Amino acid sequence: MQTVSAHGANIPVLGFGTFRMPGPDVLRIVPQAIKLGFRHIDTAQIYRNEAEVGEAIEASGVARGDIFLTTKVWVDNYKHADFLSSVDESLKKLRTDYVDLLLLHWPSSGVPLAEQIGALNAVKKAGKVRNIGVSNFNTALMAQSVALSEAPVATNQIEYHPYLDQTKVLEAARATGMSITAYYAMADGKVPNEPLLKDIAAKHGKTAAQVVLRWLIQQKDVITLSKTATESRLPENFDIFDFDLTGDEMAAIHKLARPNGRIVSPGGLAPDWDRAD
Alpha-carbon distance of 71 to 91, in angstroms, equals 9
**Given 47, 78, 160, 183, the catalytic residue:** 47
The closest of 212, 213, 208 to 192, measured between CA atoms, is 208
| Residue 105, annotated as binding a ligand | yes
Alpha-carbon distance of 267 to 248, in angstroms, equals 37
What phi-psi label fits residue 19: left (phi over 0), alpha (psi between -120 and 50 degrees) or beta? beta
Is residue 98 among the annotated active site residues? no
| Catalytic center residues | 47
Residues making up the binding site for substrate: 105
